Amino acid sequence: MALSAVLKLSGKEHASLFVGQWAAPFLLLGIYNKMVKQHGSEGELSGAGRGGGAVAGAQINSAM
């Protein structure tokens, strides 16, 4: 966004708009990436890697 401001101040209106409009898609990609990391990409159908985390953790701790 700073680059967009510099372009705007230098009189390159179209370039500043082009650069400035890339901020929102990158922020959305970051949010999507965070959601996929938190919830996984498999959804609720398989159940792999979800649900039972406390039980699995208790089994690992009791085995040590």
pLDDT digit string (tens) for the chain, length 64 residues = 789 999 999 999 999 988 889 888 999 999 999 999 988 876 555 555 555 555 555 555 555 5
In this prediction, residue 6 carries a pLDDT of 93
Model pTM greater than 0.75? Answer: no
**Which residue from 32, 12, 13 is spatially nearest to 24, judged by alpha carbons?**
32
Question: pLDDT tens across 2-13, in order?
Answer: 899 999 999 999
